[in-house]
Amino acid sequence: MYESFSFLFFTAAVISFINYRWIKLPLTIAQLLLSLGLAVLVLVAKPLWPAAYGFLSNTVTQVDFNHFMLDILLGFLLFAGALHVDIRGLEEERWPVFWFATLGVLLSTAIIGIGLYGIAAGLGVPLSFFDCLLFGALISPTDPVAVLALLKDSNVSPSLQLKIEGESLFNDGVGVIVFTGILLLSEMSSSGGESPLMLELGQLLLREVFLGLSLGALLGFLGFRAMKMVDQDPHLTTIVSLAIVFGGYSLAQALETSGPLAMVVAGLFIGNQIKQPGFEVETRKVLDGFWEILDDSLNGILFVFLGLAIHLMSPDSMAEIWLMLSVIVLVLAARFIAVVIPYSFLRHDAHRWVDTAAVLTWGGLRGGISLALAYSLTENMSGSTLLLLTYGLVIFSILVQGLTLPKVVKVLLPSAPSK
């Protein structure tokens, strides 16, 4: 595991250097694109240099990606992302963010699940209805890691940026809860259990959402109080912020509540408080700089891993290739519907809201969280097929949607309104 981590970090640093000096792409896209190129190069050279292929394969397979992403990286990345979000602006966009992150995820899960079931049946790919719903749940949340990394290099309006940022920060936690709920339904259905379904789902919602949000608020309040007491020492203040993530995420796991939601709330609270008068300016600069460096470093490791893992993804038949292509269209259509329906009930510019919904659709990138959930599925749940579909969608969303998002914004919203 240490060797894999070291190689991924080194590769991410080299790619970042190359991109900064010569390529000039958004960093996330460059890391994924160049690591994909490296993986393809090693794969082509396998007959001549089998040792290189073996090293690359071992580097990827030694990483328990589900554990690596959900239990290690995610807490730090969400906290770092939330730390820099304007909470006052987010307050103004609270209703779009709330409805996109809740109703939008549920709508998208249902549309994708039903659509995938029909397409798979037509192509002769064996997927159960619960398998299709699980895929809908894991692919519906937009990924905060990919979205926040890309928005650093995109020229979108502040209002639209807050909608995309806020939704991506919260809907990953909602997506994990929906995924867990469907998994619970599937297990109860297959085992013929008679435990009260609504009680089980109610307990899941209470434990994951309300306890997670409450824990995040408590961590943010207590964490900031501790940081304020030592804010004349920038290094110690930064160490305290690290302890909040290490200890808070572990506590959330011990309480079996949503660590992602807790980290988002804690990051939002602390990020807002350190900007208030009375907090040492120099300490805030050190704190911001540290979390930006950590954010970029962990993002690099994640996207290089995604690129290098392509050699493990191989469709078993033409039917799976057609299914992957069909699912890309299905997911985009489901995303558009899941944005338009909640957005149509909100106050907006009547002349531009459809264009805004189209930008929100195209800006809904998928990434590591979807793959981590897909990695958790067993073969009994069609794990290999759903992982292949997820990987194809992640690559498409980051490279195609990510590269073209600035142009889509420029065409559809040339003078984007503030709200």
The model's pLDDT over 365-410, given as tens digits with 9 standing for 90+, comes to: 998 889 999 988 887 877 889 999 999 999 999 999 998 988 888 8
The pLDDT of residue 418 is 43
274-324: pLDDT as tens digits: 999 999 999 999 999 999 999 999 999 999 999 999 877 888 889 999 999
pLDDT at 193: 55
Q: Is the pLDDT of residue 73 over 80?
A: yes
CA within 13 Å, CB half, 398: 32
Which range, 119-128, 157-166, 351-360, has the best average confidence (pLDDT)?
A: 119-128
- pLDDT per residue as tens digits for the range 210-261: 999 999 999 999 999 999 999 999 999 999 999 999 999 999 999 999 999 9
pLDDT at position 308, please? Answer: 92
What is the reported pLDDT for 2? 84
Please give the model's pTM, rounded to 2 decimal places. Answer: 0.91
The pLDDT, as a whole number, for residue 195 is 57
Q: How confident is the model at residue 417, as a pLDDT?
A: 46
- Between 162 and 247, the more confident residue is 247
DSSP class per residue in 194-245:
-S-HHHHHHHHHIIIIIHHHHHHHHHHHHHHHHHHHTTT-HHHHHHHHHHHH
- Residue 406, pLDDT score: 85
41's tokens:
């190069």
Query: How does residue 161 score in pLDDT terms, banded at 50, 70 and 90?
Result: confident
Confidence of residue 419 (pLDDT cuts 50, 70, 90): very low
Does 194 score more than 60 pLDDT?
A: no
% the chain with pLDDT above 90:
59
Q: What is the mean pLDDT of the chain?
A: 89
Q: Which CATH number fits domain 2-412: 1.10.1610.10, 2.30.30.220, 1.20.1530.20, 3.40.640.10?
A: 1.20.1530.20
> Contact 372/69 with Cβ under 8 angstroms?
yes
334 pLDDT tier (thresholds 50, 70, 90): very high
Long-range contacts of 68-73 (CB under 8 A, 24+ apart): 68/372, 69/302, 69/368, 69/369, 69/371, 69/372, 70/176, 70/369, 70/372, 70/373, 71/249, 71/253, 73/145, 73/298, 73/301, 73/302, 73/368
Q: What is the predicted pLDDT for the residue at 152?
A: 65
- Domain assignments of the chain as residue spans, ordered by start: 2-412
Residue 229 CA, distance from chain mean position: 33
What's the Rg (C-alpha) of the chain? Answer: 21
pLDDT of residue 1: 75
